[in-house]
């Protein structure tokens, strides 16, 4: 017994190490894929995701095209809120900065924090719909029976009027759905 034999031959040890490394990498990629996809959609407007403006101004170029922007508001069933747009439809000049308001009411006897997800349809309009300010960028907490008016400031990029894929589109729908955010234990 000059020396103990290695547990695994060198070739098999490399295979096991490579497999474990691949498993760790795939798991990490799986966890990272959702936030990476969300960032991709917000940057490109892919899949009807509206873009967030990097500065607080519209491009300044107002073109002659007018579109109707329809507002849709929803809450997850059982959340304890009502949520609706102040106006269902607004006529918007492409390129002009616009403001719309939504009203949320907490109908319960306890505070509830919610976060709004959003979508723009038809899908090909998402890349041209840019939000400058929106309640959907942060969580919203409503106290018991509190009523809050929440603004969204947006514009439709002038490139919308020049894109052959959107030339026949006269209506854009901005849809929000509020979901409850789990509060940390012990907070009210």
DSSP 47: G
Alpha carbon distance 134, 180 (integer Å) = 17
pTM: 0.68
* Domain 48-180, CATH number (from 3.40.50.720, 3.30.70.2740, 2.60.370.10, 3.40.30.10): 2.60.370.10
- Range ranked top by mean pLDDT from 15-29, 46-60, 101-115: 101-115
Q: What is the pLDDT of residues 79-110, one digit of tens each?
A: 999 999 999 999 999 999 999 999 999 999 99
Domain boundaries defined on the chain = 9-44, 48-180
Alpha carbon distance 115, 113 (integer Å) = 7
pLDDT tops 90 at residue 44 = no
Residue 148 sits at the vertex; the CA angle it makes with 118 and 119, to the nearest 5 degrees, is 5
């Amino acid at each position: 017994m000059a020396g103990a034999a290695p547990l695994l031959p060198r070739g098999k040890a490399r295979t096991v190490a490579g497999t474990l490394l691949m498993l760790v990498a795939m798991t990490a990629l799986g966890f990272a894929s959702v936030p990476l996809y969300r960032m991709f959609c917000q940057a490109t407007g892919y899949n009807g995701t509206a873009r967030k403006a990097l500065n607080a101004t519209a491009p300044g170029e107002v073109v002659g095209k007018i579109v109707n922007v329809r507002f849709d508001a929803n809450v997850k069933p059982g959340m304890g809120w009502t949520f609706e747009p102040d106006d269902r439809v607004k006529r918007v000049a492409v390129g002009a900065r616009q403001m719309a308001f939504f009203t949320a009411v907490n109908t319960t006897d306890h505070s509830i924090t919610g976060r709004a997800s959003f979508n723009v349809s038809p899908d090909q309009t998402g890349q041209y719909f840019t939000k400058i300010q929106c309640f959907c960028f942060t969580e919203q907490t409503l106290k018991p029976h509190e009523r809050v008016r929440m603004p969204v400031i947006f514009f439709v990029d002038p490139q919308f009027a020049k894109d052959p894929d959107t030339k026949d589109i006269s209506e854009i729908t901005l849809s929000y759905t509020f979901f409850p955010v789990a509060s940390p234990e012990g907070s009210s």
